[in-house]
Amino acid sequence: MDRNIIKIHELYKKYGSQTVVENLCLNIKEGEVFGLLGPNGAGKSTTIRMILGFSEPSSGSITVGGYSSTSQALKVKELVGYLPEEVGFYNNLTGYENLMYTARLNRIPVQEAEERVNNLLQKVNLTDEATKKAGAYSRGMKQRLGLADVLVKNPRVIILDEPTLGLDPKGMKELLGLISDLSKNEGLTVLFSSHHLHQVQHICDRVGLFVDGKLIACDDIQSLSDGLFTKSAIVIEAKINTPASSTLKNNKYSAIIDKIGKIKDVTDIKINDGLFTIECSIDVTADVAKAIVENNYDLTYLNKKEYGLDDIYHKYFEGGE
Amino acid sequence: MAEELKRRKAVPFFNRMFWGKNKDTINPFWVIVNKEIADHIRSWRFVVLITIIALTCFGSMYTAITSIGEALKSGKADDVFIFLKVFTVSDGTLPSYFIFISFLGPLLGIGLGFDVINSEQNRGTLTRVLAQPIPRDYLINAKFLAALIVISVLFLVLSLLVIGAGLIAIGIPPTPEEFIRIFLFTIAAIIYVAFWLNLSIVFSIRFQQPATSALSGIASWLFFTIFYSMIVNVVFNIFIPEGKKLSIAGEQLKLAIQRVAPNQLFSDITTSFLSPSVRSLGPLTMQQMQGAIPGHLPVDQSFTLVWSQIVGLVALSTLCFIVSYVLFMKKEIK
């Protein structure tokens, strides 16, 4: 059994002379949560639309569960639930009716559909609002209803395009919690795009970084971080004051620079008005602190920075520009 | 495969069309038709349109019934068809029923069609529906069919209501021939409105803003009803020296050009169906008129007279539908 449920091979999409997606090769394993990460206009949504067969690739192939997105789009749509970036519902129908409509479009028998819709509404916490018109829903409620709508057909893969856009922190947390639960408890494969780094960091098994139509990195967050910052994985920031009694006037930090520089594994030291930025390959915070104190300097601030997705993102995009 | 064939044979065609793989599920196509019809009927827009049409029908029928006695005194050949007068007669204050239909029908078609696709797109429901496992043309076909069903039911009901009211008012039942003529007129009206419906669906796919698409629909309607024949007249007048008249061939050419307009086609069809004494829709020479006995045409002859107009109207309607179909299938869904 092939573990890769989505296989994208040498995918290109061109609009006229503009290349929106360039030589994309990507495999997504069954049951994983995959985050497509990149700035606006990087080609994330275009890729997602091609996976669903909404637009034709210029060249290359996409298969979902063994079906081609171009020639067997109907089969793909049976497997894939898709939540568009700007999800919309029929405002004159209630949330329940909207879901029932989707269920009937998927040829689900009425009784089974009613049962499933009620279950899903409960799961996304909308049971009380089920009889309200969808037009009266808030953005967060719409997004949760959208998630329920995606799940009505019992998909194997769900694809979410910027699912957290425009949600408040509480709504965002709820939605991401739901997505994470679904993947863990029901073995669903989740692919979602975002330019919001922190969310991706928390719930994604793997992320792919998209810049200008190119996938420039694709791995889990730890490996991405390791790959980028091999020499200096950890940065220590220390604010040092020279004691008032100090006799050193010029180059007052030279002694401490010398001391810290001698610590093993320190790769670089930068100083900006008493704020030391020390890059090192392993954690030497304790040694740095000791050196400062032993040399009679005042340590007013000490902070150990580990690289998160933010830094990875910035580092990559700086490199990409 | 064999099982599939066996199942297909077991379920009659009609059921297969309506139901899905088993009896519990309806074919998604009819699910969409169902929903669209419900949307139309529940919408305020439909209530407004139906009120306008019902009011005008009532008004024109009232004038027809009050002036029908006057019309009968003239003693023409059409007097055999008293009942058809309910549809055609007017005392001059209000236009007759069939003129109202040819005038307001397009408005109904445009009203039901101008936002079928772009509103779905603007609401963000289009991607959601198309992400379901249904062929893309289901949506456009179902939307067209739903609007057509609504229009058909409306016009049939209106015609039957006018017949019923006429029956009570003048006390003479329609002859079978009259009934057939009224029925044919109703069908023609449905085809005519279907043309405008298709045209406005084309606009609804082409233009993202519903307002733009509604305006384009109304503009083309006004162009054909008011300006088109005017422009044709102006152009012909330029080529004719003052004081002279067009030759027969010239007249025929002018009429042919005017018949490009769907409203001209429809008015030819209604004239032929509702006025049995009309035996030609083009110019006639004196030689052709000589020796003609005033009388009326049988239904099949009236039908033959406007056959090309009917074909023309259906063709125009189909053409618009094909354009909308192709546009929709090629549309980039965003």
Tens of pLDDT, residues B268-284: 999 888 888 777 777 77
Instruction: Please identify among residues 277-316 of chain B the ones whose CB lies closer than 8 Å to any CB of chain A.
Output: none
- The mean pLDDT value for A278-292 works out to 81
Q: Establish if B287 belongs to a structural domain.
A: no
- The mean pLDDT value for A113-138 works out to 92
Residues in chain A: 321
Least confident residue range of A117-131, B55-69, B248-262: B55-69
**ipTM value > 0.85:** no
Residues B208-234 as b/e (b if ≥16 CB within 10 A, e otherwise) read eebeebbebbbebbeebbeebbeebee
Q: Establish if B42 belongs to a structural domain.
A: yes
d(CA B334, nearest CA chain A) in Å = 8
**Partner residues linked to A67 by β-bridges:** A64
Query: How far, in Å, CA of B265 to CA of B105, rounded?
Result: 14
Range(s) of chain A covered by CATH 3.40.50.300? 4-219
The tokens for B263 are 């409203």
- The mean pLDDT value for A87-108 works out to 92
CATH class of A228-320: alpha beta
Query: How far, in Å, CA of A128 to CA of A12, rounded?
Result: 46
pLDDT of residue A321: 38
The answer to whether the CB atoms of A54 and B332 lie below 8 A apart is yes
- Closest residue in chain B to residue A105, using alpha carbons only: B28
Q: Establish if B89 belongs to a structural domain.
A: yes
User: How far, in Å, are A28, A175, B115 from residue A206 at the CA level?
Assistant: 9, 19, 42
Range(s) of chain A covered by CATH 3.30.70.100? 228-320
The answer to whether the CB atoms of A78 and B334 lie below 8 A apart is no
Query: How far, in Å, CA of A46 to CA of B306, rounded?
Result: 52
The yes-or-no verdict on residue A216 having pLDDT over 70 is yes
Angle (CA) A18 A22 A23, round 5°: 155
pLDDT of residue B195: 95
B135/A contact by beta carbon, under 8 A: yes
The answer to whether the CB atoms of B133 and A153 lie below 8 A apart is yes
If pLDDT is split at 50, 70 and 90, which confidence band does A320 have? Answer: very low
If pLDDT is split at 50, 70 and 90, which confidence band does A80 have? Answer: very high
pLDDT of residue A194: 85
The answer to whether the CB atoms of A107 and B42 lie below 8 A apart is no
What whole-number percentage of chain B has pLDDT above 90? Answer: 43
Contact B209, B120 (CB under 8 A): no
**Domains in chain B: how many in total?**
1
| Residues whose CB falls within 8 Å of the CB of residue B228, separated by 6 or more in sequence, listed in order | B258, B260, B261, B264
Q: Which domain holds residue B139?
A: 24-280+295-330
- The mean pLDDT value for B229-235 works out to 89
Average pLDDT, chain A: 83
If pLDDT is split at 50, 70 and 90, which confidence band does B93 have? Answer: confident
Q: Establish if B3 belongs to a structural domain.
A: no
Angle (CA) A174 A26 B332, round 5°: 75
- Closest residue in chain A to residue B330, using alpha carbons only: A55
The per-residue pLDDT for range B124-147, each reduced to its tens digit, is 899 999 999 999 999 999 999 999
Q: Establish if B4 belongs to a structural domain.
A: no
The answer to whether the CB atoms of B133 and A109 lie below 8 A apart is no
Contact B228, B258 (CB under 8 A): yes
The yes-or-no verdict on residue A315 having pLDDT over 70 is no
CATH code, A4-219: 3.40.50.300
pLDDT of residue A145: 93
The per-residue pLDDT for range A226-264, each reduced to its tens digit, is 666 554 567 788 888 776 555 555 567 777 788 787 887
* Identity of the residue in A54, A109, A149 whose CB atom sits nearest the CB atom of B333: A54
Question: What single DSSP character describes residue B19?
Answer: B
- The mean pLDDT value for B40-45 works out to 91
If pLDDT is split at 50, 70 and 90, which confidence band does A118 have? Answer: very high
